[in-house]
Amino acid sequence: MPSKLVVVTPAGREHYLELLAHHLLSQPGLHEWQLWDNCRRESDRVYLRRLAQRDPRIRVVSIPAFEGCHRSSNRFYRRCDDPRAFYIKIDDDVVYLEPGALERLRQTARAQRQAAQLLGRPVPLWWSALVVNNAICSWLLKHHAKLELPERLSCQASDPLGGACPAFALRLHERFLAQVEQGRLEPFRVPDFPVSLSRLSINCLGFWGQDVLRLGQRFCPDDADEEEWLSAVLPSLTGRHGCVVGDVLVAHFACEAQEQALLRSGLLERYYALAGRPVPDYPLQGLSLPQRLRRWLRARQRRHKAGLVAGIG
């Protein structure tokens, strides 16, 4: 029986979700998109409900007594229990998915599972896309892609350059955008690589509902550090490594240490322009008066342009 492709996203930030929705809802084979209500503000929760009304494949999932912190989102994994489904957990600030990326991730997972079963070997536990702006993936790009990255990167999720530096992230994003605009993503592709005994930042990770059912709460305990548990601890306990799929490309906007600098750089506007979509307003911290004025003028120009387009239609 064919598997269902279900995407799950801990969600709440409108200025990212609008872009993710644009890319995600055009992906072939998508059966359902679950928006995990990860909101800390009621206004974000209202936006999620509004977004869910756009497409019958979108469903908001809530859990009782949710605290809005990273660790409490572990409880959502219990809902990924359809034995016929291949789930892909995608961060809300994934700003680009190449066409067909999610279907290729599922096909790779299915092929590797069948091959491992045929050979009597452990089946991988999860499959990650190759993520632009992810420390481990940046290390893979440096050493295994047709891409010159002169920076000294370490193969660690906590690498201060690959995992936290906004200047490095901006340079990498700009190079990636240039390749997307040229329609040439080959320099960003690498072979598939197994991952075990190593923490991986989880930005676009696929797994089978069968494994959630089989492992129960052990799949992601309530009190666990989600990334450490799923990418390092659980593979070591089950003897099943993970896999980075090197020809499935997505772009992750920013980790927490990079976010404000990248938002101030205008990078998000470039990803929206690539998608041909207007940019929602978004919060920025610590802006000077001239910076706030320039941002207000850009927003006013966007609204004026949108009004002209609506008038023409």
**Number of C-alpha atoms within 13 angstroms, CB side, residue 22?**
18
Average pLDDT estimate for 197-223: 96
Q: Do 123 and 239 meet the contact criterion of CB atoms below 8 Å apart?
A: no
DSSP state letters, 168-233 = HHHHHHHHHHHHHHHT--GGG----EEE-SS----SEEEEEHHHHHHHGGGGS-TTS-HHHIIIII
pLDDT in tens, 243-274: 999 999 999 999 999 999 999 999 999 999 99
Q: Is 201 left (phi over 0), alpha (psi -120 to 50) or beta?
A: beta
Locate the domains of the chain by residue range.
Answer: 4-282, 283-313
CA distances from 173 to 91, 124, 170, 256 (A): 17, 29, 5, 16
List, for residues 106-157, the tens digit of each pLDDT value.
Answer: 999 999 999 999 999 999 999 999 999 999 999 999 999 999 999 999 999 9
Of the pLDDT bands very low, low, confident and very high (cuts 50, 70, 90), residue 294 is low
Length, in residues, of the chain: 313
What band does 72 get if pLDDT is binned at 50, 70 and 90? Answer: low
Say yes or no to pLDDT of 282 above 90.
Answer: no
Give yes or no for a contact between 30 and 7, defined as CB atoms under 8 angstroms apart: yes
Contacts of 264 (CB under 8 A, 6+ apart): 284, 287, 291
CB-CB contact of 196 with 241 (8 Å): yes
Q: Assess whether pLDDT exceeds 50 at residue 306.
A: no
pLDDT of residue 2: 72
This prediction's pTM: 0.89
What is the CATH T-level fold of the domain 4-282, as seen in this structure?
A: Spore Coat Polysaccharide Biosynthesis Protein SpsA; Chain A (3.90.550)
Counting Cα atoms < 13 Å in the Cβ hemisphere of 204 gives: 31
Mean pLDDT of 74-93: 95
Task: Express as a percent the part of the chain with pLDDT over 90.
Answer: 79
When pLDDT is averaged across residues 160-177 and rounded to a whole number, the result is 97
**Distances in whole angstroms, Cα of residue 144 to Cα of each of 132, 153, 155:** 14, 13, 13
pLDDT higher for 36 or 289?
Answer: 36
Q: By the 8 A CB rule, do 203 and 252 touch?
A: yes
Closest Cα partner for 9 from 252, 228, 212? Answer: 252
**Sequence-distant (≥ 6) Cβ neighbours of residue 307 within 8 angstroms:** none
The contacts of residue 218 (CB under 8 Å, 6+ apart) are 234
* Residue entry with tokens 């890319």: 23
